[in-house]
Chain A
Amino acid sequence: MNQFLKGLAFAAGTFAMAGAAQAQVKPAIVYDLGGKFDKSFNEAAYAGAEKFAKESGVAYRDFEIQNDAQREQGLRRFARDGFSPIVAVGFSQASAVEKVAAEFPNTQFTIIDMVVEKPNVQSIVFREHEGSFIVGLMAAKASKTGKVGFVGGMDIPLIRRFACGYVQGVKFANKGADVFQNMTGTTGAAWNDPVKGGELARSQIERGADVVYHAAGGTGLGVLRAAADAGKLGIGVDSNQNGLFPGKVLTSMLKRVDVATYKSFADAKANSWKGGVQVLGLKEEGVGYALDDNNKALVSADMKAAADQAAADIIAGKISVHDYMSDSKCPM
């Protein structure tokens, strides 16, 4: 037994040494104020980092900020300690990344959801309107009343982009459909108010909506619960939320923050990390819809075929989904 343990320790030691010799990558993450375990956006980045750590055996470090001054402090601290790449999660980190990236030109930074123009910064933004278009189409097909709902978190252009893509998808499948839209609030608190999210969803359901899509972070849990309690369908966002209320969540609009984080780490390890802007849409599999055991009974073959066809058409350029953020307008 003892020998066995020794052998194991030896093996582990050589393995670690081999890993260290192979790659000098020291990745790190700075989360946004929502925190690592927000069940949504930040947690997706965490999931991607964990996946990388498990597969490659390379440890990573992370930091949850407590106030705005700590964004810069956290990034600078990691950069000075030789960490690279450093993933900054969320658009609020932009000014901090811009500053610190200029101070550490040899460190690789990745910012998610925002563009920072620096040679050593990789900006990853998503075409959320494309993914939202697909789930909007599915919502319209699943709806029996011809009325569907949308609950956003904080009223910012990014969330209006989700809403606008969704409306376009709904109308694409059913021109006469009604879409009820609500935003939870105008401040950061709107990301974490499941009670209000539930109330908004209930009011939409009372007006006849039978599918409700949310893009509201923690607030969305209230939306999905309200839909499930009323016997209607919810649509999740960012992560795969189908399993939260199995059979009551039609699908989830996936925004692969986890893939982006994983890829930034993995590219750095493989020495193929590049700065610049990456726009991840349907084509790059940066957005999509979730299909698993929890919702396969809800998604009919016809619905799936229509969704996949629309996705193919968007990728081929046959359908163009309007991006709200390009002109701050929604044509619908």
Chain B
Amino acid sequence: MSGRRLPAWADLTLVPLANVAAAFFVSGLVVLAIGENPFTAMRLLVAGSLGTLEGLSFTLYYATNFIFTGLSVALAYRAGLFNIGAEGQAYLAGLGAALVCLSWPGLPAVVMLPLAVIAAGVFGALWAMAPGWLQARRGSHIVITTIMFNWIATSLMAWLLVNVMRAPTSMQPETPSFAAAAQMPKFDALARSFGFTVPSSPLNISFLLALIAAAFVWLLIWRTRLGYEIRTLGANASAAEYAGINTTRVIVITMGLSGMLAGGLAVNEVLGVQNRLLLEFTAGYGFVGIAVALMGRAHPLGVVLASLLFGMLYQGGAELAFDQPRITRDMIVVIQGLVVLFAGALEGMFRTPIAGAINLFRRPAENPKA
């Protein structure tokens, strides 16, 4: 079967593209079935997410969330750990950030923001390390424990926000707004301070943090000793143990880093956009991160690309629902679901045909050498 192997670039680009194309084709049929023109819908979706500066900003804002949660899932996946808990880890990370912002409201931004980001990372990491430790030492399966930790996070945060942290006059279970210093610098405000007129958007420098995190994850996995241990563990846990790798340590550290990355979602949402801690700010981004990681083949570059696609779907989907009243928000969820289905569950469908096609072109060039 060696002739059927895919080169890495094809695995990262061609296969996902084929999956997305198939998903859009089926979505087009659904749009057709409810009596709208699929080409118009497609145009609105693309123009709405990339065609205007505002649309692009929103796309990148959503992508920021997906890069963080996608990296979180991808890193754990490299170690053979299926972390379903990015949602809960990000939720707790929001608590960490909020505690810093509310405890010391007088801090200047240069101190406040790094502290809040670190607190978010630490809280997310700790919430992920507990299931990691349980997996490594007690054999409790990480899928089960991370799901359960999501529920614990939801209940804990609901209790805190309803009974402890809620602003006294607020109808909503949410904290008071943070001090202005706790606002992550936003691109629209930055551009305006230089005299440009730009539309408002939630895009903030968390996006750059997300890209840095992606580069960091790449370095970690392929250029460090820990990364080697992570990959070995993911490839064969028994062999890793036999080779003298302390698997408990690697599992706990990997989960910690994974949770820390998930915490980036809280940095973007809590510090960058809402400027307060509110109930369920994670809004399912943690779960979409699983689809993003699968679609990106658990590779940081793939995760970034898949995040951009999901950002487009979220933003373009909203525009679509806006301009075509017959396409409701539930339709958008169907389209997103189809992308997840083709990119995640059926991702192997096109691999063999693509490998065959590539090899067809390749063989003549390689033959003289053989």
Contact = CB atoms under 8 A, between A and B. Distances in A.
A229 interface: no
A241 B223 CA distance: 65
Contact of A70 (B158, B172, B318): B318
A86 to B, nearest CB: 13
Interface stretch (A155-163, A169-177, A255-263, A265-273): A155-163
A68 B158 contact: no
Contacts of A66: 314, 318, 329, 332
A42 B280 CA distance: 21
Contacts of B280: 187-188
Interface residues of B, number: 26
A91 B58 contact: no
Contact of A186 (B173, B202, B274): B173
Contacts of A155: 162
A325 B284 CA distance: 33
Interface centre among A62, A69, A156 (most CB of B within 10 A): A69
A61 interface: yes
A76 B279 contact: no
B273 A69 contact: yes
B322 interface: yes
B33 interface: no
Interface in A33-92: 35, 61-70, 72-74, 76-77, 91-92
Contact of B202 (A63, A64, A69): A69
B236 interface: no
Contacts of A35: 329
A157 to B, nearest CB: 6
Contacts of B273: 69
A114 interface: yes
Interface in B309-361: 314, 318, 321-322, 325, 328-329, 332
B330 to A, nearest CB: 9
Interface string A179-190: 000000011100
A73 to B, nearest CB: 7
Contact of B283 (A67, A76, A103, A156): A67
B278 A186 contact: no
B281 interface: yes
Contact of A64 (B58, B159, B162, B321): B321
Contact of A63 (B162, B274, B283, B322): B322
B173 A68 contact: no
B171 A76 contact: no
A156 B321 contact: no
Interface residues of A, number: 27
A91 B202 contact: no
Interface string B153-174: 0000011001100000001110
Contact of A158 (B171, B202, B314, B332): B171
A188 B322 contact: no
Contact of B162 (A76, A92, A186): A186
Interface in A123-157: 155-157
Nearest to A61: B325
A264 B42 CA distance: 35
A230 B329 CA distance: 37
Given A66-B329, A66-B332, A103-B200, A187 B322 contact: no
B332 A68 contact: no
A69 B281 CA distance: 10
A66 B334 CA distance: 13
Nearest to B317: A66
B61 interface: yes
Nearest to A65: B329
A77 B171 contact: no
B171 A114 contact: yes
A91 B318 contact: no
A68 B318 contact: no
A187 B158 contact: yes
Nearest to B315: A73
B162 A77 contact: no
A77 B171 CA distance: 26
A13 B324 CA distance: 23
Nearest to B333: A66
A72 B188 CA distance: 15
Contacts of B325: 61-62
B58 to A, nearest CB: 7
A74 B314 CA distance: 13
B213 to A, nearest CB: 21
Nearest to A92: B172
A65 B283 CA distance: 12
A74 B322 CA distance: 8
A312 B321 CA distance: 46
A64 B274 contact: no
A76 B201 CA distance: 10
Contacts of A67: 283
Contacts of B173: 156, 186-187
A162 to B, nearest CB: 13
B23 to A, nearest CB: 19
B329 A76 contact: no
B279 A188 contact: yes
A76 B318 contact: no
B332 A187 contact: no
Contacts of B163: 186
Contacts of B318: 66, 70, 73-74
Contact of A91 (B158, B171, B314, B321): B171
Given A69-B61, A72-B200, A188-B279, 10 more contacts: A66-B332, A68-B274, A68-B283, A70-B318, A73-B318, A77-B322, A91-B171, A114-B171, A186-B162, A186-B163
The 4 lowest CB-CB distance pairs between A and B, nearest first, are A186-B162, A67-B283, A64-B329, A187-B158
30 contacts: A35-B329, A61-B322, A63-B321, A63-B322, A64-B321, A66-B314, A66-B329, A67-B283, A68-B281, A68-B283, A69-B58, A69-B61, A69-B202, A69-B273, A70-B318, A74-B318, A74-B322, A77-B322, A91-B172, A92-B172, A155-B162, A156-B171, A157-B171, A158-B171, A186-B162, A186-B163, A187-B158, A187-B162, A187-B279, A188-B280
